[in-house]
């Protein structure tokens, strides 16, 4: 089905920071499967975990326990501020589960409250409920009428959340940094204010860390940089480094589900959990978030220098290895095409902005090469 606007590139192989097309040409990958390939392409740790597990067991259903699911769940809990885990197949499913859990909590503890406040320019997934939660009209309009129970308000504005809160509100759901919305970074105290408001009103705070989690912003979870703790958190993307997996975690007080109220045939299967456990273990044991903070800062500084060099660059924004460069005109597509021609993959996140989200293993030499290519491309637009 023609639902993707694809670039003229057929990728057949990947290794580390590079991918190769069907004609043998290599590209430096600063898209990483949309912030997914956290350990780079075909990392030995992931390959080994999948190879070993596929020989043992791939699917049992959640009627039974499996060792990989227990291992991954325990590690997620130990590495976060949350108490319980549900492992899903994708980020969208994780968000859908978080929405259901918040509504179940509202029914059980908030007199049936069911509304969830989300932000404009957010992105929470592709199901109908997640689309309703996503505060972007372009995603919503083709599928109206959407499920009710979502109120979209301006991002980085605590007053808008306060004004939208009513008797039917059960939760606030935000991305710590808006990824698909353009890599929008809130004020340092924004999430703290939201946390305080949720505590005052007895609401759940859901942080959608599908894109920002698993080391992407320079800490294992982005909430750790803002000094707040969510009641529910969603994860996916980098958790499997290319293997489809998601999860939502919750504090004990928010775990309102009863047996039979949520599930899925493939969720938490041994193969995906073995992959997730191997990836997360590697990221924690090798201090990858600290590496991300260092290399992300170097990339940010390099992009800032380009912004100073070219007057048509509007700004550079982001944290860690989730960065965007915006322009004063809608030229992002042209920049992406130019980079592709010169062997660099970057992403057009908005018509006037490109996004850079390389594998977390990126090194200084990769950053220098990427910046040199981008400089060459921008010079043609000057």
Which whole-number Å values give the CA distances from 313 to 7, 91, 178, 324, in the listed order? 23, 32, 20, 11
* Cα 358 from Cα 108, distance rounded (Å): 42
Which whole-number Å values give the CA distances from 259 to 111, 256, 262, 382, in the listed order? 21, 10, 8, 61
Which whole-number Å values give the CA distances from 278 to 56, 151, 281, in the listed order? 16, 38, 5
Per annotation, catalytic residue among 30, 139, 208, 231? 208
CB neighbours of residue 65 within 10 Å: 9
Phi and psi (nearest 5°) for 336? Answer: -60, -45
Phi and psi (nearest 5°) for 53? Answer: -70, -35
Active site residue 123: yes
Per annotation, catalytic residue among 139, 237, 327, 366? 237
* Cα 104 from Cα 119, distance rounded (Å): 22
Per annotation, catalytic residue among 123, 139, 155, 257? 123
Active site residue 237: yes
Minimal CA–CA distance to 372: which of 317, 322, 364?
Answer: 364
The residues that are catalytic are 123, 208, 237
């Amino acid at each position: 089905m023609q639902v993707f606007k694809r670039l003229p590139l057929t990728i057949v192989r990947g290794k580390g920071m590079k991918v190769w097309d069907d004609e043998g040409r290599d590209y430096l990958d600063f898209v990483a499967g949309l912030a997914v390939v956290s350990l780079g392409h075909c990392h030995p740790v992931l390959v080994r975990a999948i190879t070993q597990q596929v020989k043992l067991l791939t699917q049992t259903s959640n009627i039974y326990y499996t060792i990989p699911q227990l291992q991954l769940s325990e590690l997620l809990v130990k590495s976060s501020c949350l108490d319980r885990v549900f492992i899903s197949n994708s980020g969208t499913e994780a968000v859908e589960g978080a929405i259901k859990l918040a509504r179940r909590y509202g029914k059980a503890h908030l007199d049936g409250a069911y509304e969830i406040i989300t932000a404009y320019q957010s992105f929470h997934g592709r199901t109908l409920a997640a689309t309703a939660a996503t505060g972007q009209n372009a995603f919503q309009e083709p599928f109206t009428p959407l499920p009710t129970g979502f109120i979209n308000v301006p991002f980085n504005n605590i007053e808008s959340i306060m004004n939208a809160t009513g008797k039917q509100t059960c939760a606030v759901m935000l991305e710590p940094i808006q990824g698909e919305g353009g890599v929008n970074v809130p004020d340092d105290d924004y999430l703290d204010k939201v946390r305080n408001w949720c505590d005052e009103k007895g609401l759940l705070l859901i942080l959608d860390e599908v894109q920002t989690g698993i080391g992407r912003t320079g800490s294992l979870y982005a909430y750790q940089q803002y000094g707040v703790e969510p009641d529910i958190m969603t994860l996916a993307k980098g958790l499997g480094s290319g293997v489809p997996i998601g999860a939502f975690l919750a504090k004990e007080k928010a775990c309102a589900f009863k047996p039979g109220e949520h599930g899925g045939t493939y969720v938490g299967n041994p193969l995906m959990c073995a992959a997730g456990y191997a990836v997360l273990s590697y990221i924690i044991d090798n201090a990858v978030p600290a590496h991300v903070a260092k290399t992300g800062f170097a990339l940010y500084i390099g992009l800032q220098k380009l912004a100073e060099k070219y007057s048509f660059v509007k700004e550079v924004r982001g944290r860690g290895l989730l960065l965007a460069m915006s322009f004063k005109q809608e030229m992002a597509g042209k920049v992406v095409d130019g980079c592709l021609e010169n062997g660099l993959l970057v992403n057009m996140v908005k018509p006037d902005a490109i996004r850079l989200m390389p594998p977390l293993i990126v090194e200084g030499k990769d950053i220098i090469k990427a910046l040199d290519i981008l400089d060459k491309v921008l010079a043609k637009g000057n």
